[in-house]
Amino acid sequence: MLPFGGSCVNKPVHHQDWLEVRTRHFDISSSLGPEATTRLANDLENFRLSVEYLIDADVPPLAIRTKVYAFDGRRVVRPFDRRGASGYFLPSLDGGWIVLRTGGGWRRDATVDLKLEFARFLFRNREGLDRPLWYDEGFGQFVSTMKAQDGAMEIGLARPDQIALLRDRLQLSVERLIQLQDLTELSKHEREIFNAESWALVHYLTFEKGHPAQARKRFRRYFDLLEQGTSYPKALQKAFGETPSEIKKGLSGYVREQEFGSMTMRIPQRRAKVPAPRRLEPANAATRLGWLAVALGRAKIALGYFERALEPDPENPSAMAGLVASARIQQDWKSAEARYARAQEVAPNHSLMHLEGGRAALAEARETASPRDQTRLTALAQQRFRKSIDELGTNPEAYALLGSSYLLPGEDPARGVAPLIRAQALLPSSLEIELIRARIELARGEASFAALLARGIASRTTSKKLAEESLALAEEAERGTKTGR
């Protein structure tokens, strides 16, 4: 077998016929062919438009676009596999990554879990991280079944797994459901029930209480009432015209019905129009595949693609930055620094280059045992992050990492607040940025606020690692609050 997905019959992955499409919200790299790639671009934009319709508000375009990779499925693309899924969504400090692996495009490769995570990403970028937990969960579950059609989206398709769980009996009162603000104390079974009931409640309020066009305005009124200080039960009653107990009675019958409401949303052609695909040169395809491998933490695979990208153009700045990133992942600090120095000779004003140089210096600072080296490397990382921001001030990752650098010994954590607030403004959906903010708040003595942020992260994440880190931070902060520190 040849490396990097090659075989004796098929071309290496980066030598396939790759196309690129840059829509209003997505940077798409696709080997699906022109017609299927155009369909994919339309499906992605239509999905986003449908989310906007359901929340009755535009989702503002991010400065950093969502990156999409669609493989043609001629082989198992093992370097980019993630738990065997046909498609997955990767959150990151610079936005989101969508990977469709088996040639099915959005319609066949976009799993329920992918659509769930992407819907949350879009919703949280519009609404932030302070919406009620039941709606944050239920809306994502509701949108996860949306089905793309030509020029349309089918909305409201049932979740059989959730229906089966709920038909036994509803186990949480609606009044308790809508007021839960910390899910970390729920048992695994209670969390499953919470997720299912949240989905059912969003579905019920969307279809049973009138047309979805009316429901989205009622949800908007519900959020406005909460922001004005109205209690959760009263806000629900004022927005939807029924008390929580009345809603629970209706919901109990609703989940036992044989058919669930759904609707087909037609997308205006003027909104869905996307540019025609353009050919992507093999070196550029290799560079993009290298960055996907970096996002997955697969340094050797990334290095191979970046080296191939540099063969026809040894001064490709993005690929040179990729060499720095690959060395950083392998904790090869000497190589990372040498590659950064070489890259600076070629592209001294390249934002991504400075960002990766800063990441490498910050990672080494965290690992070194020498206080003197740690101070030097931290200052170097901060300098590079600021240079990256000077060249491109719209990348949340540069601000987030700059903020995180003030957590190192000898630094003033208060100086990390401003860059983190900017990072959060650029990418409101990021739980990873929220966790850095919680760490900064704890370091500067705001233990209660840090605990609140950390428990909010643990209540919203589906990442086991992120949940463990945020819970540990919450417990540390709460101990500090009790001891007065």
The three state secondary structure string of 359-377 is HHHHHHHHHCCCHHHHHHH
Higher pLDDT, 130 or 365: 365
Chain center to CA of 191: 21
Q: Does 236 have pLDDT greater than 80?
A: yes
User: What is the average pLDDT across 19-24?
Assistant: 95
> Do 285 and 14 meet the contact criterion of CB atoms below 8 Å apart?
yes
Looking at residue 77, what is its pLDDT?
Answer: 64
Q: Is 368 exposed, middle or buried (0-12, 13-18, 19+ CB in 10 A)?
A: middle
Q: pLDDT-derived band of residue 280, with 50, 70 and 90 as boundaries?
A: very high
User: What is the average pLDDT across 259-275?
Assistant: 77
Pairing mode of beta strands 26-30, 66-70: parallel
Looking at residue 169, what is its pLDDT?
Answer: 67
> Do 324 and 343 meet the contact criterion of CB atoms below 8 Å apart?
yes
Q: Which residue has the tokens 């696709």?
A: 30
User: What is the average pLDDT across 302-315?
Assistant: 95
pLDDT > 90 fraction of the chain, expressed in percent and rounded? 75
The residue type at 369: A
Q: Does 33 have pLDDT greater than 90?
A: yes
Instruction: Give the torsion sign (CA, 364, 366, 371, 374).
Output: positive
The 3-state DSSP class for residue 9 equals coil
CA-to-CA distance for 427 and 105, rounded, in angstroms? 26
Looking at residue 17, what is its pLDDT?
Answer: 87
CA-to-CA distance for 252 and 248, rounded, in angstroms? 6
Of 82, 120, 125, 122, the C-alpha closest to 101 is 82
**What is the overall mean pLDDT for the chain?**
91
pLDDT in tens, 79-95: 899 988 999 999 999 99
The CA-CA-CA angle for residues 340, 345, 348, to 5°, reads 80
Q: pLDDT-derived band of residue 259, with 50, 70 and 90 as boundaries?
A: confident
Looking at residue 5, what is its pLDDT?
Answer: 43
Q: pLDDT-derived band of residue 60, with 50, 70 and 90 as boundaries?
A: confident
pTM for the model: 0.92
Task: Look up residue 339 and give its two tokens.
Answer: 């590659």
User: What is the average pLDDT across 178-197?
Assistant: 92
Q: Does 437 have pLDDT greater than 70?
A: yes
The 3-state DSSP class for residue 279 equals strand
The DSSP letter of residue 199 is H
Looking at residue 123, what is its pLDDT?
Answer: 94
Pairing mode of beta strands 152-155, 147-149: antiparallel
Q: Does 356 have pLDDT greater than 70?
A: yes
Looking at residue 7, what is its pLDDT?
Answer: 39
Minimum mean pLDDT range among 187-201, 351-365, 439-453: 187-201
